[in-house]
Structure 1
Amino acid sequence: MTDPTPRPVLVTGGNRGIGLAIASTLRDAGHPVVVGSRSGEAPDGLPAVALDVTDTASVDAAFTEAEKIVGAPMGALVANAGITKDQLLMRMSDADIDSVLDTNLVGAIRCARRATKSMLRAKSGRIVLMSSVVGLYGSPGQVNYAASKAGLVGVARSLTRELGGRRITTNVVAPGYIDTAMTEDLPEDLKTTYRGIIPAGRFGEVSEVAAAVRFLLSDDASYVSGAVIPVDGGLGMGH
């Protein structure tokens, strides 16, 4: 089934994993989708643009190119691009702190700033920021990552207060442990431990995360803004 209101959408970091599942799901739902990736490429026949979220000029150029591809301003943004540089805080370098915050948090802010230009003119739009259960639940060795993902909640709620009167919604999706290449590489005993603390007793599927994003872009979510949607099998209990 296609969504009744197609929204041209840019999915950052949409060339693999959760981002690719989101991009493919939104395309299949009838939304014109463009993927932003560092390489400027994406699989599965998805149109893509080169995008480095740590560089404002690159963000501006990517949105301009994406709008040319779909022939319309972006009506939605899914800010999914992110990195990890895990280490205990006492051993974490300034570079590890700066790069994770600049990509995951400031990069999302840069993209949202650019996206809102066309949304304000249209008096309509959807912004979805991809956080993590780690940002709300905490995790040893991930102070930089947790801070970056927790910060997205403040971004979403501030943008909701700034832009809510213009029919622009901003929400957060916070996945838990999801079956991706990253979790596949974990040792089997660690996977068993993680499954043991997840009330659902299993890792999530990328399609389950993508379904939450699809809902937030739909007409049915027009009165949902500033929310944090956990997709974590109950691990974070909505915190």
Structure 2
Amino acid sequence: MRKLLLMALVSLTLFSCSKNDKTDSGDNPRIVLIPGFGNSGGEIPGTAFSLPSGIQLQGSITGESMSPVCTTLGFGSLVDVYLELKNTTAAEIKVTFPAGLTLYAASASDQNGFVAQNYDVTIAAGAVCIVKLNAYCINSSRSGSSSSSRYTWGPVCNAPAIVYFLKLLKDKDLSKDEDSQVQPSLWMISDTETDPVSSKQIWDIVRENIAAIPNR
């Protein structure tokens, strides 16, 4: 009996520690360092992204301006990239850049990119479309994109804090983010490690920032 009680107490302790590691004092996702964000090394956590079958990336994802641009997507201002997409089929194809999609900078001095909402572009059969993607930055200490910057696809990030942040942004009209609330809020939840109380305080600020952006 005594042994069973001891095992139960140990199990409860482990559960409590695990929960405290994952949430803060307000039951929000705990703000912790995310690999690939801020000054953290390592691979960004998430699911792999690939273009749909029949769509080919021509050349590289680049910070160098290309034209003519067939569509501009996103409202970030620090990681602006261009990609030339070719539809190799006889039917139009819709390409979706999902919320949470990341872009790995080839240079360690350049910022990695982040897509905050879902964006679609439909490419006609056999057509080529140059897409300009205005992404946000996830490394505040690095340089923004430039004509020499090159990128590869990163995963669609599934870190708990990022997933929660994307839910806050889902219905917002980011074209009307006149006070530029998204970028500093993104840095606040990804550039630091916090204790449970500080994490809640940061989320309170972030929610207030995002609430100021009009809905779509």
| TM-score exceeds 0.5 | no
Higher helix share: 1
Higher strand share: 2
TM-score grouping bracket, smaller chain normalisation: under 0.3
Looking at both structures, which has the greater relative contact order when contacts are Cα pairs under 8 Å and sequence separation is at least 6?
2
TM-score between both structures, scaled by the size of structure 2: 0.25
TM-score between both structures, scaled by the size of structure 1: 0.24
